[in-house]
Copies of this chain bind each other. A is one copy, B any other.
Amino acid sequence: MSNPSRVDETLLTPLLYLERSAQVFGEKTAIVHGSRRISYREMAEHTTRLARALQSSGIRPGDRVAYLCPNIPEMLMAHFGVPLARAVLVAINTRLSGQEIAYILSHSGAKLLVADTELLPAAALHLGGCPDLEEVITIDELGIEPSVDSAPYSEFLERGSDDPLPWRVDDEFRTISINYTSGTTGRPKGVMYTHRGAYLNAMCEVVHSGFDRDSAYLWTLPMFHCNGWCTTWGVTAVGGRHVCLRAVRPDRIWSLIRSEGISHLNGAPTVLVGMANHPAARRLDAPLTVTTAGAPPSPTIIGQMEELGAKVVHVYGLTETYGPYTVCETQEDWAAHPAEERARLLARQGVAMVGADPIRVVDAEMNDIPRDGETMGEVVMRGNIVMSGYYDNPAATEEAFRGGWFHSGDLAVWHPDGYIELRDRAKDIIISGGENISTIEVEQAVVSHPAVLEGAVVAMPHEYWGERPKAFVVLKEGQSAKPEEIIAHVRDRLAHFKAPDLVEILEALPKTSTGKVQKYVLRRELWEGKGKNIN
């Protein structure tokens, strides 16, 4: 791709953002974590040392380095240090079960895992099954003894040096990170991001969230989610201040908004609901932009947030699109509408962001559907804000990219004003508090119960989480099991948030003539009167 002799070309990589902020805002605070304050100069120094330590530990260009950490400074700095070593960051969802974590470590072939000692026990028993994993490095913030053989992070860093590495890449399409998503077929797929895509999407976040050097960004969104929607890189680009947060609790959010002068935070609507309904909620003294995705914010929560003085930006995307791909741009004439109408307009997923290709909603033959607000089609995307593919999974990549477009699996209507609005999901996915849950994975856990003959899991509407799994099961003849036993059985096997809230025992599942379970029949009753089948 690159022609090194060109004076007019620098290949795009978010590493350039840290290079610049360290030069321009060297003594400015880059990261706040409790009483810790890290300047941009220190952030760049730490990043170099980390990259050098990775090299000294045998990490070579293209190798995968996994992180299992909450939103702490080391997790943020890994977004620069790992790519600076030309390696690939695999930030693992901290809520997964040990088996799930081990699968990701194995599939990605990660050679090194950096883990927080609070989170390590979940994975510890399963690490033996990861053939490529050579070493575990542990970060201990809470005084918790590491549960596996490992080197402390501080000692690991000592393997590094301050010898600078170039903040430059030789290929914009080099993979910068792999983010695992819950696939419909149960097994997570590794979504590959490129340096170019990360650079451009980070710039989109800057433009649409309105970040600048005075911004103070609160890390309510997990960094393992699409690399924090590329905001890890975007806030750094403008020299803003990252405010870390180990655990997302509304009281802590409110106290940090005040003590740190938070101007921006991102999160699923559930985070907003938690904030707005907390006793500490009080009208804001200074502007706060809250960017939300994962489910459409309800008119109620939009109204509540606006009453508190916050501006709500609604975005939509998938792991495959670096997080946000669309934004619900507000129009000048919306201000004249009553609050409820405005909230309804704002609850739509909207239009492509400035760096994204125009979004389309298509029928089965890839023709645009009518923009009538009624016809449903599949949302498809392409361009710089789309992944380069699934890691080590050409079949899934080809399937996702059929026809030259990324198929989201989300079903939407297209309004006459060009805004899309999600109505349903082709994929068997439940989105609960912004987290994807594969219904198939849950079904597999349900039917592994010895008394269960067959089962189907669908999303049911939930006021707080948006959606929660509900299981319908048929028991084997002569066998019995109580719903709570089945739920407990699933909780032993999967991350707890994936277990169904409800289990209903049926005589038989509704099926098509060819024997396929008609999930839409099960869903229909749960969503009656909602006008849509997802939240």
Contacts and interface: CB of A to CB of B under 8 A. Distances in A.
Interface of A: 1, 5-10, 12, 16-17, 19-20, 23-26, 28, 173, 194, 196-197, 203, 206-207, 210, 212-213, 237-239, 329, 331-332, 351-352, 354, 357-358, 382-384, 386-389, 401, 404-406, 418
A329 B207 CA distance: 18
Contacts of A19: 358
B8 A383 contact: yes
A401 B386 CA distance: 35
Contacts of A332: 28
A24 B329 contact: yes
Contacts of A197: 8
A197 B9 CA distance: 8
Given A203-B203, A210-B212, A5 B354 contact: no
A489 B173 CA distance: 59
Contacts of A388: 6, 8
A331 B329 CA distance: 31
Nearest to A354: B237
29 contacts: A1-B1, A5-B404, A6-B388, A7-B382, A7-B405, A8-B194, A8-B197, A8-B384, A8-B386, A8-B387, A8-B389, A9-B173, A9-B383, A9-B384, A10-B382, A10-B383, A12-B384, A16-B357, A17-B354, A19-B358, A23-B358, A24-B352, A24-B418, A25-B331, A26-B418, A28-B331, A28-B332, A203-B203, A210-B212
A388 B7 CA distance: 7
Given A10-B383, A25-B331, A206-B207, 9 more contacts: A1-B1, A8-B382, A10-B357, A10-B382, A10-B384, A16-B357, A20-B358, A203-B207, A237-B354
A384 B194 CA distance: 18
Contacts of A23: 351, 358, 418
Contacts of A207: 203, 206-207, 212, 237-238
Nearest to A4: B404
A238 B354 contact: yes
A388 B6 CA distance: 8
A4 to B, nearest CB: 9
Contacts of A12: 384
Contacts of A194: 8
A386 B7 contact: yes
Nearest to A402: B7
Contacts of A1: 1
A333 to B, nearest CB: 8
Q: Which of A20, A173, A212, A406 lies at the interface centre, i.e. has the most chain B CB atoms within 10 A of its CB?
A: A20
A10 to B, nearest CB: 4
A389 B8 CA distance: 8
Nearest to A200: B12
Contacts of A20: 351-352, 354, 358
A197 B12 CA distance: 12
Contacts of A237: 207, 354
4 smallest beta-carbon distances between A and B, as pairs: A10-B383, A24-B351, A7-B401, A8-B388
A24 B418 CA distance: 7
Given A206-B207, A207-B238, A237-B354, A404 B7 contact: yes
A20 B385 CA distance: 15
A245 to B, nearest CB: 23
Contact of A329 (B210, B213, B406): B213
Nearest to A380: B7
Contacts of A25: 329, 331
A406 B28 contact: no
Nearest to A322: B8
A40 to B, nearest CB: 12
Contacts of A24: 329, 351-352, 418
A337 B70 CA distance: 39
Contacts of A329: 24-25, 213, 239
A35 B155 CA distance: 69
Q: Which of A1, A206, A207, A212 lies at the interface centre, i.e. has the most chain B CB atoms within 10 A of its CB?
A: A207
